[in-house]
Chains A and B, each alone.
Chain A
Amino acid sequence: MTQIPGLAEEHTSTPLSSSQSITLRIAKYNPVHDTEKKFMEFNIPYEKWTTVLEAILEVKKHFDHSVAVRFSCRQATCGSCGMIINGKPRLACFTKISELNSNIITVEPMNNFPIIRDLAVKFERLFDTHHKVKPYIIRDDTEITSDTKEFLQSPEELEQYIQFSNCIKCGLCNSACPTMATDSSFVGPQALAQAYRYVADSRDKGKDTRLKIIDESHGIWRCHFAGSCSQVCPKGVDPAMGIQLLRGYMLGFKS
């Protein structure tokens, strides 16, 4: 009879034996029964390489397991752990405590996203606006039926959009955007940058469709080029550039 092994006992990961420590302030808020955000403080030892996410997980492990935080890859690829760290939207897994040059680290949920609980926010609206701009190649033919069997593209044509395909949908740009702070209907920098990504793709034939979608009162014209979205992007996407280049198409500067 085979015996199903039980789950391996969790051993401590990297022991935090540093003499350095910070005060980690975590925003606690449950929209079901809380009226306002409260901050809980924890004294956390850290090493030069300790990330904010590791510090939060240390809190969950040893002090308060109820802290709600979304994370997955821990390497700035999944885009799950976006939060406001010391007042600025950042990925917790991509932000080292030693880089912040502060003895107090305050973590809060991202602005402009409904809060599920504590640091976890809802992404439905971001995904909706992303979907709205048709984030896929639009063509009548397909690579399967085409005579050439593939849509060829030169390296120069690839350069036109490859930067914008790095988007991991973390939502930091939407959180930093000053227009999104007041306008609930604004499409947002993430979706607009993705609209540019496909408009600039030489294989795509859906430019007119996409430009029509974003050419509305709460569309591209609400961007005032504050550039905060580009400053917080953890993947170097530069949504502000994409939006202005996209507007160049609409104003007739580009074709």
Chain B
Amino acid sequence: MTNNSENKKGIGGMIDPRRYGIERIAYLLMRLSGLGLLVYFIAHIYETSKILQGQFGWNEMIASTQTTHGHIILAIIIGMCVFHTVNGIRVMLGHGGVGVGTPTRPDYPYSPASQNIKHKIGIYSAIILAAIAMMYGLAVMFGELK
């Protein structure tokens, strides 16, 4: 039970992806990947600032990423980046009113035109492309692909 007077579920309610289909999952992934990329952006500035410590500092930092954990983290970043880009294009087009359907008299059983197959394909494409990019990245980083 939420304690506030407005009966809001808060962040728990915002990120709960159940019961609303793939669109709500895409909404959650978009938020998570956005936050993840923001954290990566800050970490990346810190990471590249190591060059100010000369070649030794730079090599030490690079070495820290050449571990199994480092590779997995980078693969997740690749996945987040690809998903956020592809899904972001879908969302931006939607925000401009592109591909959200046209108003019409609804007939029962109602099927919202804005949740149409074009957007679903866009979401699944973003997920699949992110997965492919992650697998490719892992293959390169672990030396499967030269």
Q: Which residues of A are in contact with B by a Cβ distance under 8 Å? A: 29, 31, 36-37, 87-88, 109-115, 121, 159-164, 166, 176, 178-182, 184, 200, 224-228, 230-231, 233-238, 240-242, 244-245, 247-248, 251, 253-254
Contacts and interface: CB of A to CB of B under 8 A. Distances in A.
B14 A179 contact: yes
B23 A228 contact: yes
Interface stretch (B43-51, B54-62, B74-82, B95-103): B95-103
Contacts of A178: 13-15, 24, 27
Contacts of A111: 7-9, 13
B5 A114 contact: yes
23 contacts: A87-B19, A110-B7, A160-B103, A163-B103, A163-B106, A176-B20, A225-B23, A225-B91, A227-B23, A230-B115, A231-B23, A234-B110, A235-B110, A238-B106, A238-B110, A238-B113, A240-B115, A241-B101, A241-B114, A244-B114, A245-B97, A248-B97, A253-B98
Interface in B76-128: 91, 94-98, 100-101, 103-108, 110, 112-115
Interface of B: 1, 5-15, 18-21, 23-24, 26-27, 30-31, 91, 94-98, 100-101, 103-108, 110, 112-115
B95 A251 contact: yes
B8 A112 contact: yes
B20 A112 contact: no
Given A114-B5, A231-B20, A240 B14 contact: no
A214 to B, nearest CB: 14
B14 A225 contact: no
Given A178-B27, A241-B100, 8 more contacts: A114-B6, A184-B6, A227-B114, A231-B21, A233-B112, A241-B114, A245-B103, A247-B95
Contacts of B114: 227, 230, 238, 240-241, 244
A195 to B, nearest CB: 14
A226 B9 contact: no
A181 B13 contact: yes
Contact of A31 (B5, B14, B97, B113): B5
